[in-house]
Structures are given as C-alpha cells and as structure tokens.
Amino acid sequence: MNNMNELVALGEKNVMNTYSRFPVALEKGDGAYVWDINGKKYVDFVAGIAVNALGHNHPKLVKTISEQVTKLIHVSNLYYTAPQIELASLLTKYTDFDKVFFCNSGAEANESALKLCRKYADMKGKPGAEIITMLKSFHGRTYGAITATGQEKYQKGLTPLLPDIFHVPFNDISALESKMSEKTCGVFIEVIQGEGGVIPADFEYLKKVRELCDKYDALLIFDEVQTGVGRTGTLYAYQQTGVVPDAISSAKGLAGGVPIGALLATDKAAAAFKPGDHASTFGGNSLATSAGVTVIKEIMENGVLENVKKQGDYLTEKLNELKAKHSSIVDVRGLGLMKGIELDTPAAPIVSSCIEKGLLLVGAGEKVIRFVPPLIIEKEQIDEAISILDSVL
C-alpha cells in the first residue's frame, strides 16, 4: 500500500462522510500548480473552488500571514484592530458600499444578509418579512442559507426549513414581479449562478429587479461569494451590471485561502443593524483580515485585475476553439476567470480523466465543467489545461 492509499483509507475511517472526494491527497502548491503526496504535479483550475485568488505560496501573502501571526492572530471584537479596519476601508473605497460586517464563510455572510433583510423589515415596520431567492441558486449550508438555496437536492431531509423564503425562476422578471409585494424585505441573486451551472444573470433583468426592490422597499442582495474579489474582471461582478444592490456577501477568495466572510452594505441597509444585533467571535480576526488586505491590494493596485481580463478573454477564445472541435461542448459562458462549458454528457467522468492527466477541474451541476483558476494564471498554464482537456474530450 503506498502513502496515498493509506491516507485515503485513514481519511475514510476518521473524517465524517459528507464529501465525495477524488482519491488524490494534495501536499503543496506554488502559483497555479499543486503537487500530490507522490510528487505528481497538477495545474490547478479549481483554486480551492475560487478561493486561492493569488494562487498557492504567493510570496506577499506568505509574508503578511507569517508576520501577522507573530503579532496577533485573534483578539476579540470587543476591541479595534488595524487589519480589520484597513480591510473594511479598502472594501468601501473600491465599491459603492459604506459598511462591512466580517464573519468566516460564505454561508455566514449570507446568514448575515438574511438577518439584515428581516431587521430592515422590522425597522421599517413592513407588513411581512418575506425573502425571495432564485431557483438553481446556491447560498451555503447553514439553515438560513440552505433555505435560501433554490435546489431541492440540498434541502432533502432537512425540513422544516426557515419560513417565508420563496424561490422563483432566475432571469424571469415576471415570475419575480408576481411574487413580490409590500411583504417582501429582501431579494437574493447571484450575478453568475456558480454551483447552479455557471449561469450569468441578464443585466437588463437585474435593472428591473432593482426597480422592483425600490418599488416595494425591499433590500437587493447580490451573493458575490463566488463572483467577488476580482473573479469576473472587476473587484465585484455587480460593478459590470449597471446595478448597485443594497448589500453583497463576499467570502471565498477574500483572504486568499484563510477563512473569511463579509457582508458589504450601503448605509441605508446597514442602519438596520444596531450594536448587539449580530456578532461573530472569529469574524474579522487579525490573521484573516491582514491576508484580505494583501489580496485586495494585489488585485486592485498590482495588476491582478488586468490579468483576469486578459487571461479571461484568452480562456474564452481557447474554450470556443474546443467547442468548434468537439460537438460534446454545447455552450461556453461566464465572465473573467469564472467560466463554464456545458456538455451534452455528464461532466464527472471528464473531470476524473483530467485529474488523472494532471489538471484539476470542478463540475457545476450535472453537465457543466467550471474553470476558476487562480487570478494570477498565465497564458502557458491555460494552454496546458486546454491541451489536457482536448485530449480527454
């Protein structure tokens, strides 16, 4: 038995059985590459599912984290700390939002948004506190977030869920309009549905959603957990839509792999939270927020955003070439470095074969393969990935 098999067996024995994993044990990474414990190299187009924004072993991120642990890892939100305030200031500087709440994951950021909507309804004396989200959406695994998630497969066996959260078809303005009323206090949308299959929202639709939310004084929340932090070519995807929501949830790439979540809100929405209304022990701790500062500075001030646009265009070009060659690819879509191809066959066997040949990919829904590489990916690495995928197809 080699190391890999032993480790996999030990994992099966001791780790709770909630994931269906590939039989690969990864050990280290550098840039857009990772290595397994047998020394086999992979080009990483998963990046921890859109998390490792600066890739692996990024010198500046390593330096920031190493230095920060010698000062403070964590104190408490009973006190002010510079990294937390610096990250909040960068996020408000580069977006339309005024205030940031820090937590530790995407689900928690959405949980914060759900609470904010209901607190907003309470503050405004609205006649109800209904929240509307989209079918095929994904918002996380906590009870509120899983109720908001518009996919039955994730909710099976978990009922009763939270009351007064409803789902309507995505990109369908009349469906939303017929469900909205004075009782609505929040609408949740992903600018590109990630887990649901890399499905972009129509920008004209988003404008009409904004109008409906204004009409009924409901908060418009964009779940940017996956689309945020430079992933689509702007710091947040909403910045390309012509629509400013009342709040966005952020997580995944925000601290380059250190757990973090954030809710960014306008003053109008943030006013619904008063001291004591919401909290998180770990939220905004020095380790995570110092990492976040480095990630945001690299993206905004050191050319990473430009790389996303350039390599995103190149990836689209290459995927379209594959589509012209392989009839099994029926669609190429997405923005920046969040791309998907839809196949006419299940994605899982193709993903497995790519892993065997040294390319990490992740599915999104049954027939879609997702491409969410580190934002520092280079042309040669895209070529490498495309050539492996080409040979597998």
Ligand X SMILES: *Cc1c(COP(=O)(O)O)cnc(C)c1O
Can 102 be counted among the known catalytic residues? no
Per-residue mark of binding to ligand X, 9-48 (x: CB under 6 A): ----------------------------------------
Closest distance to ligand X from the beta carbon of 4 (Å): 26
Sequence letter at residue 102? F
> 167: closest CA among 146, 142, 191, 182?
146
Interface with ligand X (CB under 6 A), residue from 116, 148, 198, 225: 225
Can you give the three-state secondary structure of 54-89, one letter per residue?
CCECCHHHHHHHHHHHHHCCCCCCCCCCHHHHHHHH
Interface of this chain with ligand X, residues 229 to 258, rule: CB under 6 A: 251-252
Residue 23, preceding peptide bond in cis (omega within 30° of 0):
no
DSSP letters spanning 86-134: HHHHHHHHTSS--EEEEESSHHHHHHHHHHHHHHHHHHHT-S--EEEEE
In Å, how far from its chain's centre is CA 209?
21
Can 252 be counted among the known catalytic residues? yes
Lookup result for tokens 């350039």: 310
Rounded CA-CA distance 247/267 in Å is 10
User: Which one from 36, 44, 223, 246 is the annotated catalytic residue?
Assistant: 223
Closest distance to ligand X from the beta carbon of 197 (Å): 12
| Residue 340, strand partner residues | 333, 370
- 223 touches ligand X (CB under 6 A): yes
Rounded CA-CA distance 393/389 in Å is 6
Rounded CA-CA distance 103/249 in Å is 10
Interface of this chain with ligand X, residues 114 to 173, rule: CB under 6 A: 138-140
Closest distance to ligand X from the beta carbon of 283 (Å): 13
Interface with ligand X (CB under 6 A), residue from 107, 199, 362, 372: 107
Interface of this chain with ligand X, residues 289 to 348, rule: CB under 6 A: none
Q: Which stretch binds ligand X (CB under 6 A): 23-31, 103-111, 171-179, 203-211?
A: 103-111
User: Which one from 115, 119, 126, 252 is the annotated catalytic residue?
Assistant: 252
- 102 touches ligand X (CB under 6 A): no
Backbone angles phi, psi at 284, to 5 degrees: 75, 20
Q: Which stretch binds ligand X (CB under 6 A): 101-109, 210-218, 301-309, 322-330?
A: 101-109
If the CB atoms of residues 148 and 341 are measured against ligand X, the closer one turns out to be: 148
- 285 touches ligand X (CB under 6 A): no
Active site residues: 138, 223, 252
- Residues near ligand X (CB under 6 A) are 105-107, 110, 138-140, 190, 194-195, 223, 225-226, 251-252
